[in-house]
Chain A
Amino acid sequence: MADSIVIKTEGLVKEFGDGVRAVDGVSFEIERGEIVGYLGPNGAGKTTTIKILTNLIKPTSGRALINGFDVNRHPKDALKDVGSLIGVPGVYSYLTPAEFLNYFGRVYRMPKEKIDQRIEEVLKMVDLLKWKDSKIGTFSTGMERRLAIARSIFHDPSILILDEPVLGLDPEGIKEIRELIKSFQKEDVTVFLSSHLLDEVSRVCDSVIFLYGGKVIERDSVKKIDEILKQYRLIDVELLNSINEHDLNKLKDMEVIDQVQKLGENRLRLTKTDGDPVSTAEILREVVENGFKVVSYSPERSNLEDFYVSLMKEKEGSR
């Protein structure tokens, strides 16, 4: 195995009790310093793969290697340089963030001074320094989440395995996490992150592994996503007020929108089909800046499924 390969899976299969193959022969390699997105719709098997990679579950067959060590057989060697964030972890309510991080620092064999120093650094990074010595049980969900993120980067890992890292965060938090992940690029940290949001992955990753029904469909550079975004740039918007004819025209006149489709009393589907690629976020920003009160929006969530179906067909056709 080349030294530069840090994460490797070989024909991973995970079958659950009811015969469901959540992961069905997944093989991929990730090189040092790469930021790789693991993309797939709900139920594709992303979390299952990541749980195998972090020794939370054992694969039915195949193996997962980190730095050349089988994760399930030699977790002590494989995981010592890995920071992970999986799902929405709970908290040890009766401890303080300092005590909590101290334990993990010791598990990762960090020297004492380093632990104390990192507690300050990391808590500052996630904006929890003020609550360093208060019980975690009193924290809000967002604070708990930020603490979990702090824990995953606490020991300065050179490999980060993140499952839906922005889940449950507010837009401000999402932005911060993105910046954090991007900053790792410079530090030669390998990042493997799962997401079901195309947009999300395209913003931070170098390359993408497409997963569908437990199988890897394609591995591509993030440019591929830009192409997809070009084709499938639509966003469902729910507005506070009901929509009239004037609003529709106003939206149609906007640079970033080509088509406006009325879905309901105050629900719209906006599409950008040609011209320069713009992200859904930009479309949203334009809409808001034009005085529309947006209650909710869901960018490209539905069409990722469509995209996968077409990708599958494409693949089968070429065979």
Chain B
Amino acid sequence: MRCKYYFVVLIVVGMMMLSSTLLCSFQAEPSKMIEQDVPDEEVIDVGISNLTFSKEKPREGENVTIFVTVMNNESMDLGELTFIDKVNITLMHFEDFLFAWENITVGANSSKTFEFTWQATSGMHSFTAVMFFEIQLLNMSLPWSSRSAILEVDPEPIGNLYFPVAMLLVVFGIVGAAILAPAFFERIPYLQQKRR
């Protein structure tokens, strides 16, 4: 059961990831939303309406919250829908393939936002949230709706402004001191005697 579920996820999402990474590396426009609704016909008006991040351009190492909003325009709670035994939401990320997986319920005619936290690493990242209907009768998971978004994370800034300034001051200080030094050394009686 589980095994099958993962298998489907792998294929479907893998394709989406690939296309989005390609888009990501060639187009490379930060935080561009890519909408990809899997089913063509909306039999059931349920889906992921939004995938956003707590920060548009986070820095490396920062904790980013990923918001996945699921809307349910049906007159029934998600989970009470015919044939559907469970509704899962999966968040995927290129590096850690399956980022998070959650069993969800969303009330009728409402939407609900799910939060995931992620510690940012530098570079371009693509996140994809997929909603699955689990149908036990058919022993399958049906990907229903998905959404991708790209997040650009600035690398950790290297260095600071103060240190090179300090280093320049050190250089100028020592060079300056070297100009003054002979006048001092000449006045040290011990050195004077030694040289005579």
Physical interaction between A and B: yes
Residues of A in contact, count (CB < 8 Å):
2
- Output the nearest chain A residue to B192 by Cβ-Cβ distance: A73
Interface size class of B (residues with CB under 8 A): under 10
Chain A residues whose C-beta falls within 8 Å of the C-beta of B186 in the assembled complex: 73-74
- Output the nearest chain B residue to A74 by Cβ-Cβ distance: B186
Q: How far is the CA of A73 from the CA of B186 in the complex (A)?
A: 8
Interface residues of B in 177-196 (CB under 8 A from A): 186, 195
Return the CB mask of A72-96 against B: 1 if under 8 Å, else 0: 0110000000000000000000000
Q: How far is the CA of A73 from the CA of B187 in the complex (A)?
A: 12
Chain B residues whose C-beta falls within 8 Å of the C-beta of A73 in the assembled complex: 186, 195
Interface residues of A in 61-75 (CB under 8 A from B): 73-74
Q: How far is the CA of A69 from the CA of B195 in the complex (A)?
A: 14
Q: What is the CB-to-nearest-CB distance from B39 to chain A, in angstroms, rounded to a whole number? A: 81
Q: How far is the CA of A74 from the CA of B192 in the complex (A)?
A: 12
Q: How far is the CA of A74 from the CA of B195 in the complex (A)?
A: 13
Q: What is the CB-to-nearest-CB distance from A12 to chain B, in angstroms, rounded to a whole number? A: 15
Q: What is the CB-to-nearest-CB distance from B192 to chain A, in angstroms, rounded to a whole number? A: 9
Show 3 residue pairs from A and B whose CB-CB distance is below 8 angstroms, ordered by the A residue.
Answer: A73-B186, A73-B195, A74-B186
Q: What is the CB-to-nearest-CB distance from B95 to chain A, in angstroms, rounded to a whole number? A: 61
Q: How far is the CA of A195 from the CA of B186 in the complex (A)?
A: 36
Chain B residues whose C-beta falls within 8 Å of the C-beta of A74 in the assembled complex: 186
- Output the nearest chain B residue to A63 by Cβ-Cβ distance: B196
Q: How far is the CA of A74 from the CA of B186 in the complex (A)?
A: 9
Interface residues of A in 33-77 (CB under 8 A from B): 73-74
- Output the nearest chain A residue to B183 by Cβ-Cβ distance: A76
Q: How far is the CA of A74 from the CA of B182 in the complex (A)?
A: 10
Interface residues of B in 151-187 (CB under 8 A from A): 186
Q: How far is the CA of A73 from the CA of B195 in the complex (A)?
A: 9
Q: What is the CB-to-nearest-CB distance from A109 to chain B, in angstroms, rounded to a whole number? A: 17
- Output the nearest chain B residue to A72 by Cβ-Cβ distance: B195
Chain A residues whose C-beta falls within 8 Å of the C-beta of B195 in the assembled complex: 73
Which 3 A/B pairs are nearest by Cβ-Cβ distance? A73-B195, A73-B186, A74-B186
Q: What is the CB-to-nearest-CB distance from B184 to chain A, in angstroms, rounded to a whole number? A: 14
Q: How far is the CA of A204 from the CA of B195 in the complex (A)?
A: 38
Q: How far is the CA of A74 from the CA of B185 in the complex (A)?
A: 12
Q: What is the CB-to-nearest-CB distance from B189 to chain A, in angstroms, rounded to a whole number? A: 14
Q: How far is the CA of A155 from the CA of B195 in the complex (A)?
A: 32
Q: What is the CB-to-nearest-CB distance from A140 to chain B, in angstroms, rounded to a whole number? A: 39
Q: What is the CB-to-nearest-CB distance from A61 to chain B, in angstroms, rounded to a whole number? A: 11
Return the CB mask of A264-296 against B: 1 if under 8 Å, else 0: 000000000000000000000000000000000
Return the CB mask of A84-112 against B: 1 if under 8 Å, else 0: 00000000000000000000000000000
Return the CB mask of B110-121 against A: 1 if under 8 Å, else 0: 000000000000
Q: What is the CB-to-nearest-CB distance from A177 to chain B, in angstroms, rounded to a whole number? A: 36
Q: What is the CB-to-nearest-CB distance from B156 to chain A, in angstroms, rounded to a whole number? A: 49
Interface residues of A in 190-247 (CB under 8 A from B): none
Q: What is the CB-to-nearest-CB distance from A266 to chain B, in angstroms, rounded to a whole number? A: 59
Q: How far is the CA of A79 from the CA of B74 in the complex (A)?
A: 102
Q: What is the CB-to-nearest-CB distance from B187 to chain A, in angstroms, rounded to a whole number? A: 12
- Output the nearest chain A residue to B195 by Cβ-Cβ distance: A73
Q: What is the CB-to-nearest-CB distance from A20 to chain B, in angstroms, rounded to a whole number? A: 24
Q: How far is the CA of A99 from the CA of B77 in the complex (A)?
A: 94
Q: What is the CB-to-nearest-CB distance from B190 to chain A, in angstroms, rounded to a whole number? A: 15
